[in-house]
Structure 1
Amino acid sequence: MRGIWKYRDLLPSVRNRVTLGEGGTPLFQISSEIFLKDESRNPTGSFEDRASAFAVSWLLDRGVRKVICDDDIDRCLSLATYSAAAGLECFAPLMNLPLSLLGAKFTEERVSLREPFYHLGEMTIAFEIAEEVEPDAVVIPMGSGSNVVMVWKGFRIASEAGMIERLPKIFAVRPRLSKGSIARELTQEPLFLKDALRAVKESGGRVIEAGDEEIIRAQRSLAKMGFLMSSSGSVAYSAIKEVREMTSVFLLTGRFRGFTRKIGETKEIILSILAECPSSGYSLWKSVSEHRKISIQAIYQHLRELEEREMVEKRDGKYHVTSKGRMLLAEI
């Protein structure tokens, strides 16, 4: 048996095992000390498939027939995919063509996936690494913190099972900017922050902050090696200079999702500003003018075009980004 269910004896027991071929992702050695764990090879392109496979299996065992996603795009796509495979009804607070094809339905209900059972499948990343190499350090992007917590838990279980002789240090890398970072998926509410910081401390590692320039540099370096990663998926590799002279595994957590309909840089700026704070046309013009020279007439023209594309809507005298507009921002 391949994938995450290869480690079924190390996971909580479930009867209904759902799988689409997740797990078993390759570990590439690019130098004597540097290894890249490519999680973009999972079915929907991110490590979230490990969590979704276990979580949907766990829910099936308990007779649950309906799931609601949070607003993380990778997690939402993954959970919708596995729900469809298992015949569960899936609701999402955002919508795009893939989610529509999967039969997901839009909901304005907001949830946070704080339940530990949802993330247990992520432990299998550690099990796979332990079978191939015994690293000094494992470098992980940190958003909600779940991946940091579960990978550390996985290594502790692997150690208890005799798979490794010593535990690695965990280095958690997060964007320096809490808002406006190009790795926006990692600036979500850090639901597992306390547990993640505890895991880092127990391991003897530390938290590293990466600026946008460092993330872009890492993304470009990875692309030149054949790894087309999203900004968030590249964050761990931006810390390569922090783990010199250590045998290190970097988690590349998700592939680049190119948005095929180019809307133009000015519209991207407008959407980014409105996503942070809904504004009137005049206030928006003042904000955009900080980035480029533009007339107020041009701002209203862009807003009309974005309204026609259903990416913004006007309510109470202010322009707001729609779920469709937020989907575009997540994929730019």
Structure 2
Amino acid sequence: MTPLPDRFCPVDGTRVPAGSLAWRCPACGGPLDLDFSPTPANLKSLSGRVNSLWRYAECLPLAAPTVTLGEGRTPLVELREGVFAKLDFLTPTLSFKDRGAVLLTELALRLGPRQVIADSSGNAGTAVAAYCARAALPCTVYVPTGTPAGKLEQIGAHGARVEVVDGDREAAAATAREAADTPDTFYASHVFNPYFLHGTKTHVYEIWEDLGGRLPDVLVLPVGNGTLLLGAALAIGELHAAGLIGRRPALYAVQSAAVAPLADAWAAGADDLTGTAPAAPTSAEGIAIPRPARARQILRAVRATGGTFLTVTDDRIRHAQRDLASQGLYVEPTGAAAWAAVREGALGERTAVVPLCGAGLRTGLARG
């Protein structure tokens, strides 16, 4: 079995050994990155490989998967000329979070903890619960009050214990992080654990492959904790360093206007969050994150590609969700946010891909 890479803190450089169950930097308490610089395979060598995200084995920090459910290789469908949708709601648990959850679960199997815990507004918890079920690992998922009933039902159906926390998404995360410090516990955090990002990056490898070895001018991504965007930045960097793309696409980060701390920091020209951003209820609960732990990395990644931040109101999200449904694509409000940002022509003549990252079956149409 290939040795696991070490983790390190991007802020102060503190290193964490590969076999440790530590989930954050022991010095500053921040998220960790992975000491891993892969060289991706060229297009020709991908022919005949397994039809899942594991076809990009050279670029993944884990090999020989045992809990795979065939995740990845989702379709790319044109919404209008030059703008494509990546249908990541067509995954085993109906969201892009499967890409990261499978790597977290594979890592947990190798580390052998007594229990796995996660926190989520629904999709990440569902994905972790499903893959832990596949791996026969005991799992507890902490969710905030108001999590859609369909998501709670699916998490429980996979055999995970559901703990509903009295409070918002941040309260659920705080409760989970306290539990994560219990001995012999693996915290399957899609925010703090870098393995998750190396799973989400595969959606960009798939776009690159399906477009014949190129990427669009712009990748438009919904951003709360930024795991999809940061994964995209990893893949872009790896492909560019290997000479497999000649230019880097711009990253456009989309936030709900109701909860937009990163967009506010961007508008202020800041390198980090500028304070406690005002927050209001939003149908896009998956990106309603007031204090994303990787804020500095997200802002840096967008800036490095010449990208920008966009915000969308719930009214625009609702119209975008219904527009997608009229085209045969039924996604949750969070999944419609990126399309809401570009459907009225914000991209001009540039080509783009937007991810439709969660199915609408468990949340229904946005109201208003």
TM-score (norm 1): 0.74
Matched, 1:126 2:229: no
Of 50, 75, 81, the match for 2:124: 75
Equivalent residue in structure 1 for 2:193, among 112, 115, 132: 115
Partner of 2:306: 204
**Distance between the aligned counterparts of 1:132 and 1:165, measured in 2?**
17
Please give the secondary structure, in 2, of the residue aligned with 1:30: strand
Pairwise CA distance, 1:72: 2.1
Alpha carbons of 1:219 and 1:119: their partners in 2 closer, same or farther (altered >3 Å)? same
Quick check: 1:156 aligned with 2:237?
Answer: yes
1:258 Cα offset (Å): 4.1
Q: Which residue of 1 aligns with 2:266?
A: none
Mapped to 2, the partners of 1:97 and 1:249 lie a distance apart of 31
C-alpha displacement of 1:154: 0.9
Once the 2 structures are TM-superposed, how far is the Cα of residue 182 of structure 1 from its aligned partner?
1.3
What SS is found at the alignment partner of 2:119?
Answer: coil
1-structure distance, mates of 2:126, 2:285: 17
Q: Which residue of 1 aligns with 2:155?
A: 99
Q: Tell me, what secondary structure is at the counterpart of 1:39?
A: coil
The code of the aligned residue for 2:285 comes to R
Cα displacement string for residues 287-330 of structure 1 (whole angstroms, at most 9, x for unaligned residues): xxxxxxxxxxxxxxxxxxxxxxxxxxxxxxxxxxxxxxxxxxxx
User: What is the Cα deviation at residue 132 of structure 1?
Assistant: 2.1
Alignment match of 2:353 (pick from 219, 235, 249) = 249
For 1:283, the equivalent position in structure 2 comes to none
Q: Is the 8 A contact 1:92 1:104 kept in 2?
A: yes
Superposed CA RMSD = 2.0
Partner in structure 2 of residue 147 of structure 1: 228
Kept after mapping to 2: 8 A contact 1:130/1:158 = no
SS at match of 1:103: coil
Once residues 24 and 15 of structure 1 are traced to their aligned partners in structure 2, the CA distance between those partners, rounded to angstroms, is 18
Is 1:181 matched up with 2:300? no
Residue type of the alignment partner of 1:201? R
State the distance in 2 between where 1:202 and 1:138 align. Answer: 14
Q: Tell me if the contact between 2:198 and 2:234 (Cα under 8 Å) persists in the aligned partners.
A: no
CA distance in 1, matches of 2:316, 2:331: 14
CA distance in 1, matches of 2:110, 2:341: 40
What per-residue deviation string (whole Å, max 9, x for no partner) do you get for residues 89-122 of structure 1? 1001248332222111134642354121233200
Is the radius of gyration larger for structure 1 or structure 2? 1
Higher mean C-alpha deviation, range 110-119 or range 237-246: 110-119
Aligned to 2:180: none
Cα distance in structure 2, aligned partners of 1:202 and 1:259 = 35
Deviation of 1:71 (Å)? 2.7
In 2: Cα distance, 1:7 partner to 1:86 partner: 22
Report matched runs for 1:1-332 at 5 Å: 1-94=50-143, 96-107=152-163, 109-111=175-177, 113-133=191-211, 134-178=215-259, 179-188=280-289, 189-240=291-342, 241-258=345-362
Distance in 1 (CA, whole Å) between partners of 2:248 and 2:130 is 34
Query: Across the two proteins, how many residue pairs are aligned to each other?
Result: 262
CA distance in 1, matches of 2:81, 2:223: 26
Point out 4+ residue stretches in structure 1 off by more than 4 angstroms.
none
Of 13-22 and 69-78, deviating more is 13-22
Shift of residue 63, structure 1, vs aligned partner: 2.0
**Structure 2 contact 52–70 (Cα < 8 Å) conserved:** yes
Q: Identity rate of aligned residues, in percent?
A: 30
Query: Separation in 1 of the partners of 2:89 and 2:351?
Result: 22
Which range is displaced more, 27-36 or 195-204?
Answer: 27-36
2:120 and 2:155 mapped to 1: Cα distance? 12
Listed one character per residue, the Cα deviations across residues 144-196 of structure 1 (whole Å, up to 9, x for unaligned) are 11111111111111222333222110000000112211112211242222111
TM-score, normalization by structure 2: 0.67
Gaps of 5+ in 1: 261-267, 270-332
Amino acid aligned to 2:203: I
CA contact (8 A) 1:68 1:91 kept: yes
Greater CA deviation, 200-209 or 54-63?
54-63
Report the Cα distance in structure 1 between the residues aligned to 2:363 and 2:314, rounded to whole angstroms: 20
Shift of 1:18: 2.3
Tell me the CA shift for residue 88 of structure 1: 0.8
- Quick check: 2:100–2:198 contact (8 Å CA) kept in 1? yes
Q: What CA deviation, in whole Å up to 9, does each residue of 1:18-39 have, x standing for no partner?
A: 2101100000123331111010
- Mapped contact 1:15–1:61 kept (Cα < 8 A): no
CA contact (8 A) 1:123 1:153 kept: yes
